[in-house]
Amino acid sequence: MTGRSVCVVPAKLERTPEGIPYAPDFGDIYHSSAGGLAQARHVFLAGNGLPDRWRGRASFTILETGFGLGLNFLAAWHALRADPHGPARLHFVSVERHPFRAAELAEALAPIEELAPLATALVAAWPPPLAGFHRIAFDGGRVQLTLLAGDARELLPQLEARADALFLDGFSPAKNPEMWSPEVVRQLARLAAPGATLATWTVAGGVRAALADAGFPVEKREGFGGKREMLVGCRAGEDETPSPPERRAVVVGAGLAGTFVAERLASRGWAVHLVDPVEKRTGATVGLVRPIANLRDAVNAQASRPAFLYALQHFRALQHDGFHLVWRRSGVLQLADGDDEAARMAAIISAQEHDPAFLRFVDAAEARELAGRPVRGPGWWMPSGAWVSPGSLAVALLARAGPGVRRHLGRRVERLEREGAEWRALDASGSVIAEAPTLIVANAFDAKRLLPEARFPLSRVRGQVTFLPPSPARALDIVVSGSGYVAPLPDGGHVVGATYQHHDDADDVRAADHRENLARVDTMLPGFSEGLHPMGLDGLAGFRATIPDRLPVFGATAIPGVWAATGLGSRGLLWAPIGAELIASRLEGEPIPLPRDLAGAISPKRFLS
Ligand SMILES: Cc1cc2nc3c(=O)[nH]c(=O)nc-3n(C[C@H](O)[C@H](O)[C@H](O)COP(=O)(O)OP(=O)(O)OC[C@H]3O[C@@H](n4cnc5c(N)ncnc54)[C@H](O)[C@@H]3O)c2cc1C
Ligand SMILES: C[S@@+](CC[C@H](N)C(=O)[O-])C[C@H]1O[C@@H](n2cnc3c(N)ncnc32)[C@H](O)[C@@H]1O
């Protein structure tokens, strides 16, 4: 066991006698006593030539050290809203070792009336204090905040981005030297685009020297409030947007992965051909989405946290933007399979110091209370775990994507062909279904056939779910998992899943599998299936595409122009949103939503070595 906390230590909000937010651990204030918002505007926005410098750009990236109260972020967002010529997409990436909790953030920002609507939105979307990357979208995706929760020295090396403006806003270098250290400044230099600008309120000699060493000539400008001077700098090179990729793609497969990729690309102005032999999908079932935890905090658990939070925020944003998504954050109760597992589950929570609002251990009595009926024993409670209707999700995603996604349904891609700069997807008769310079293979297990050179170690695993009709005797509002899962269905009743059958390619619904699912639910919730007979039940059968390392496959393959989104196993709802965002971010040269090591762990190239 690593014994390492998966959480960061939240900041404590204190104030000076004058009312300025103050950090006791650093002995410093969060912003100038002459006003945080005015400081943000003078030092960080004007110091970086903003808003002028972002005008006419498709995308603009600001990288900040020290998110603190988020005043610089909110000031930038506020300026963007007021600017008719601002970029189509503003990325704000900020690293923060001690993020506030949502309630403290709300309290600290409350006095600044001008920012109230933006602060409210920020607080509503604010993540729990989990270490790592958090990507949150605002204003329909025009503003993208990527909060790196943790130490700048650890997390900046994990970032892949091309920053156009740097906001250096640690506490004073004397009190917070690590934020201004040569190693941090070297990372900023690595991440800065040619022509990137920087601004900071300090003129400390050590900071100037570290910046000059890293290739940032700096000069002094008139400071803000009580400060006579501040620093601005500019990286050598042309300040221009790199020529955008030709924004046309073919996505093979319109399941969860392909639909998410298509939507993420369309949100960036891409024209996407989405190809699938299936013309009509059933919307009958729901799936569950929850994070993974394990003793070693293995890569799948590490990746599951940003993936889960990103999925939730994406689902919320869809709903907020008016698209009809059938889902509910009902909470997921994962029951232990016996005493040994219960002890291990309890040990994981205490060793990894999970945030109880995210994941906590509950004893048998509390588990029973949460479920509202007898359960087999203790387990984990994941309050923000959810069930989602994948059918409604696909409809909502395509509605949001709009005309940018052109569907070719009833068409199966038989083979791929490269013609000049274009990839062509051909059907069995050799006709071209669609072509584009970028091809994303999202056809689950069939990706193995279509791209043999990628050597995907995919397996196909059959699974069947069973629908239980509504009954007062089976009241249950949450999702219970452990031996499979049982989830409430939106129109009443429940779904129980799922069987797990290797070497079985038939998709018929079988009474024997219903029997297995009824036994499964009864192990978790004794007596739940009483009175039901497997012969009279409905269900659905499908297939999972699994990879032995239990991680999905998202990213560029070694074949030029070809990307992959497959291997989602039993967790399509967890992996598809972040995986698709990763692909779209990389294609656009935007900051990536995951640390480099996790992006590498899910890369399609991992099978080639
Ligand atoms: C019984 C069962 C229960 C499950 N429960 C859950 C759950 O509770 N939560 C959860 O997160 N996940 C669950 N899953 C897993 C989830 O369904 C998958 O992870 C998810 O569907 C994977 O998405 P995908 O887009 O990669 O694959 P798919 O959804 O399989 O989509 C692949 C698409 O590619 C198309 N295709 C294939 N070949 C071609 C071709 N040659 N040309 C064009 N298109 C092609 C297919 O028609 C298909 O539409 C469950 C799976 C099963 C089987
Ligand atoms: C001056 S405050 C930032 C104010 C903020 N930019 C704003 O707009 O409200 C400095 C921030 O740097 C953070 N910090 C200090 N050391 C850090 C480190 N090593 N890594 C990441 N963040 C750090 C502090 O927790 C604090 O929130």
* Count: domains in the chain: 2
Q: What is the mean pLDDT of the chain?
A: 96
The 8-class DSSP code of residue 593 comes to S
pLDDT of residue 240: 57
Ligand nearest to the CA of residue 109, numbered in listed order: 2
Residue 378 belongs to some domain of the structure: no
Q: Which residue has the tokens 């250096």?
A: 168
Q: Is the CB of 498 under 6 A from ligand 1?
A: yes
- 255 and 214 within one domain: no
- 274 and 191 within one domain: no
Q: Which residue has the tokens 């799922």?
A: 498
Of all atoms in ligand 2, which is nearest to the CA of residue 40?
8
- 117 and 208 within one domain: yes
CATH assignment of the domain containing 59: 3.40.50.150
Show which of 205, 234, 263 is a domain's final residue.
Answer: 234
φ/ψ (deg, to 5) at 97: -75, -35
Residue 546 belongs to some domain of the structure: no
For residues 421-448, average pLDDT: 98
Q: In the beta sheet, which residues pair with residue 134?
A: 147
Residue 574 belongs to some domain of the structure: yes
- Cβ contact 469:439 at 8 Å: no
How does residue 236 score in pLDDT terms, banded at 50, 70 and 90? confident
Contacts of 539 (CB under 8 A, 6+ apart): 464, 465, 466, 467, 509, 513, 514, 517
3 pLDDT exceeds 70? Answer: no
Strands (E), 342-421: 360-362, 379-382, 386-388, 405-409, 415-419
Q: Whose CA is nearest to atom 4 of ligand 1?
A: 570
What is the C-alpha R_g of the chain? 25
Cα(177) to centroid of ligand 2, in Å? Answer: 12
Q: Which residue has the tokens 């070595």?
A: 609
What secondary structure does DSSP assign to 226-295, as a single string? Answer: T-SEEEEEE-SS---PPPPPP-EEEEE--SHHHHHHHHHHHTTT-EEEEEES---------EEE-----T
Probe residue for ligand 2, chosen from 15, 29, 97 as the CB with the greatest number of ligand atoms within 8 Å: 97
Q: Which residue has the tokens 């009443």?
A: 492
Residue 212 belongs to some domain of the structure: yes
How does residue 2 score in pLDDT terms, banded at 50, 70 and 90? very low
- 260 and 220 within one domain: no
Over the range 450-462, which residues count as b (16 or more CB within 10 Å of their CB) and which as e? bbeebebebbbbb
Q: Judging by beta carbons within 10 Å of its beta carbon (0-12, 13-18, 19+), is residue 225 exposed, middle or buried?
A: middle
- 267 and 160 within one domain: no
- 252 and 221 within one domain: no
Show which of 173, 200, 234 is a domain's final residue.
Answer: 234
For residues 110-131, average pLDDT: 97
Helix, coil or strand: residue 455:
coil
Cα(60) to centroid of ligand 2, in Å? Answer: 22
Q: Is the CB of 183 under 6 A from ligand 2?
A: no
- Cβ contact 5:353 at 8 Å: yes
Distances (CA, A) of 443 to 274, 418, 576: 11, 19, 13
pLDDT of residue 83: 97
- 193 and 272 within one domain: no
Cα(571) to centroid of ligand 1, in Å? Answer: 10
d(CA 60, CA 92): 9
pLDDT in tens, 318-371: 999 999 999 999 999 999 999 999 999 999 999 999 999 999 999 999 999 999
294 pLDDT exceeds 90? Answer: yes
Cα(178) to centroid of ligand 2, in Å? Answer: 11
Q: Is the pTM of this model over 0.85?
A: yes
Q: Is the CB of 63 under 6 A from ligand 1?
A: no
Q: Is the CB of 465 under 6 A from ligand 1?
A: yes
The 8-class DSSP code of residue 260 comes to H
573 pLDDT exceeds 90? Answer: yes
Angle at 537 (CA atoms; ends 532, 541), nearest 5 degrees: 135
Q: Is the CB of 152 under 6 A from ligand 2?
A: yes
Distances (CA, A) of 527 to 240, 334, 365: 66, 18, 17
pLDDT of residue 244: 64
- 199 and 157 within one domain: yes
pLDDT of residue 1: 41
pLDDT of residue 508: 95
238 pLDDT exceeds 90? Answer: no
Probe residue for ligand 1, chosen from 543, 570, 602 as the CB with the greatest number of ligand atoms within 8 Å: 570
Q: Is the CB of 41 under 6 A from ligand 2?
A: no
Residue 95 belongs to some domain of the structure: yes
- 195 and 91 within one domain: yes
241 pLDDT exceeds 80? Answer: no
Amino acid at the residue 606:
R
Cα(425) to centroid of ligand 2, in Å? Answer: 49
Ligand nearest to the CA of residue 45, numbered in listed order: 2
Ligand nearest to the CA of residue 286, numbered in listed order: 1
What angle separates helix 116-125 from helix 71-81, to the nearest 10 degrees? 120
Cα(152) to centroid of ligand 1, in Å? Answer: 38
Contacts of 168 (CB under 8 A, 6+ apart): 64, 65, 180, 188, 198, 199, 200, 202, 207
- 225 and 276 within one domain: no
Residue 429, domain extent: 248-282+391-454+552-607
Angle at 482 (CA atoms; ends 481, 487), nearest 5 degrees: 15
- Cβ contact 432:454 at 8 Å: no
d(CA 116, CA 138): 15
Over the range 552-590, which residues count as b (16 or more CB within 10 Å of their CB) and which as e? bbbbbbebebbbbbbbbbbbbbbbbbbbbbbbbbbbbbb
- 274 and 141 within one domain: no
pLDDT of residue 243: 66
Helix, coil or strand: residue 599:
helix
For residues 6-31, average pLDDT: 95
Residue 332 belongs to some domain of the structure: no
CATH assignment of the domain containing 570: 3.50.50.60
Show which of 234, 269, 303 is a domain's final residue.
Answer: 234
Of all atoms in ligand 2, which is nearest to the CA of residue 74?
8
Nearest alpha-carbon partner for 85 in 112, 56, 59: 56
pLDDT in tens, 140-178: 999 999 999 999 999 999 999 999 999 999 999 999 999
Residue 84 belongs to some domain of the structure: yes
The 8-class DSSP code of residue 30 comes to S
Q: Is the CB of 256 under 6 A from ligand 1?
A: yes
Residue 25 belongs to some domain of the structure: yes
- 188 and 133 within one domain: yes
d(CA 244, CA 85): 19
d(CA 293, CA 300): 8
Ligand nearest to the CA of residue 579, numbered in listed order: 1
